[in-house]
Amino acid sequence: MTDNFQDQMFDFLFRKGIENFVGVPDSTLKQFISHGLKSKKIIITTREEEAIGISAGMILAKSPTLVFMQNAGFANSLSTITSLIQLYKFPLIFLIGWRGFKKNDAPEHKKIGQIQPKLLKDIGLQTRIINKNNWKKFSSWAINKMKNGDSCALVIPREFVD
Amino acid sequence: MSEIGDSPIVAANGFISRDLFNVKDKKTNFYMIGSMGLASSIGLGIALKKPRKKIFIFDGDGNILMNLGSLATIGKISPNNLIHLVFDNSIHESTGGQPTGSDVISIEKIARACNYKHVFKVSTKNGIVKILDKIKKHSGLTLILIKIEKGNSIGNRISKTPKNIKDGFIKNL
């Protein structure tokens, strides 16, 4: 499976100081989330904006935090990202699944999957695309961004269709 | 306001933040000027990380109805140190007084169903003071629904920048 690195990535981010992982489940990220649930570091919310709000609160209490979501959820969150995270300059790491990446993915993911890279670019959220070979390098990149007070996004493409 | 003292407050966008800024500005007020609906979520995040401090949320009926899921998440976790005040005038006053529907539905029943431990409903200043005094002594997730009338004046806009609001809050929490 292509997503075997997700357990290691969770442990790595935790060791590097991320104390909270808040978000809405995503099948692309299920291994990352299941692994985090075992160690009780995960909070599951009803919607993505809510996860971003809780994360902002945790950062206000000086506790480094990551939010995770599907790309449909990223689309839900645009206003919150621009009017809360970017406006107040919260150093938050986004972990976003990327469906609609493969041409034969389910129809509801196609449109948002196509425009996601452009949306991220247009709102000015710096992004790295993660895979099993580069996850460590880009996780470190994200940690450094956070330490410098910036938000950023790590995107995991869904390489398989089930 | 003296009952709340120096405790941190997260204030919802619109007139709620503006009124708080004009009545009692302090470094541990977080004025949420955008992202409507999320004051309760931000308050939850702080409360979970500062379990020894009482955290107040100044919410509105329009705000909480926009993010009802947050009541479910807050209730699911049920932090002992979160006091959720909802100023309910049944309208979106900041945008011109459009109805929210909170005169028909029951926010206090929703809160109870969502596992809030203490739920109060008041409509007088005296009533608010009494409840704030009372809850000083006990812990547990609390919602106070405060029925208010439409205001007749608009407070000044918040003069601090968002980054200053955030940085000041972090430093003084």
Question: What pLDDT, in 10s, does the model give residues B112-150?
Answer: 999 999 999 999 999 999 999 999 888 899 999 999 988
One-letter amino acid identity for A66?
A: L
Name the minimum distance, in Å, from the CA of A83 to any CA of chain B.
5
What are the tokens at A82? 């621009």
Name the residue among A57, A59, A65 with its Cβ closest to that of B41: A57
**Nearest residue of B to residue A60, measured between CA atoms:** B170
Domains of chain B, first to last: 9-172 (3.40.50.970)
* Chain-chain contact of A84 with B38 (C-beta, under 8 angstroms): yes
- Whether the predicted pLDDT of A1 surpasses 60: no
* Chain-chain contact of B166 with A50 (C-beta, under 8 angstroms): no
Name the minimum distance, in Å, from the CA of B50 to any CA of chain A.
7
* Chain-chain contact of A52 with B77 (C-beta, under 8 angstroms): no
d(CA B97, CA B90) in angstroms, rounded, equals 9
Fold (CATH) for A5-157: Rossmann fold (3.40.50)
- Which residues in B62-85 are b (16+ Cβ under 10 Å) and which e? bbbbbbbbbbbbbbeeebebbbbb
* Chain-chain contact of A57 with B37 (C-beta, under 8 angstroms): no
Task: Note the pLDDT of residue A144.
Answer: 98
Identify the three-state secondary structure at position A30. helix
- For chain A, what are the domain ranges? 5-157
| Secondary element (H or E) of residue B145 | strand B142-147
Residues of chain B above pLDDT 70, percent: 100
- Whether the predicted pLDDT of A159 surpasses 80: no
Over residues A58-80, mean pLDDT:
96
- Find chain B residues with C-beta within 8 A of A60's C-beta: 30, 42, 45-46, 166, 169-170, 173
Task: Note the pLDDT of residue B121.
Answer: 96
**Residue A72, φ and ψ in degrees, nearest 5:** -60, -35
Task: Quote the ipTM score.
Answer: 0.96
Confidence of residue A49 (pLDDT cuts 50, 70, 90): very high
Is the distance from CB of B78 to CB of B31 less than 8 angstroms?
A: no
Over residues A66-79, mean pLDDT:
95
**Residue B19, φ and ψ in degrees, nearest 5:** -65, -45
Task: Note the pLDDT of residue A161.
Answer: 65
- Whether the predicted pLDDT of A162 surpasses 80: no
Name the residue among A45, A63, A89 with its Cβ closest to that of B49: A63
* Chain-chain contact of B70 with A53 (C-beta, under 8 angstroms): yes
d(CA B108, CA B114) in angstroms, rounded, equals 10
Task: Note the pLDDT of residue A138.
Answer: 98
One-letter amino acid identity for B72?
A: A
- Find chain B residues with C-beta within 8 A of A43's C-beta: 73, 77
Identify the three-state secondary structure at position B143. strand
d(CA B158, CA A85) in angstroms, rounded, equals 18
Over residues B166-170, mean pLDDT:
97
Residues of chain A above pLDDT 90, percent: 82
* Chain-chain contact of A56 with B69 (C-beta, under 8 angstroms): no
Contacts of A138 (CB under 8 A, 6+ apart): A128, A130, A154
- Find chain A residues with C-beta within 8 A of B162's C-beta: 87-89
Q: What is the mean pLDDT of chain B?
A: 94
Higher pLDDT, A141 or A101: A141
**pLDDT tens digits along B52-82:** 999 999 999 999 999 999 999 999 999 999 9
- Find chain A residues with C-beta within 8 A of B41's C-beta: 45, 49-54, 56-57
Residues in B whose CB is inside 8 Å of some CB of A read: 10, 30, 32-35, 37-50, 67, 69-70, 72-73, 77, 162-163, 165-166, 169-170, 173
* Chain-chain contact of B73 with A50 (C-beta, under 8 angstroms): yes
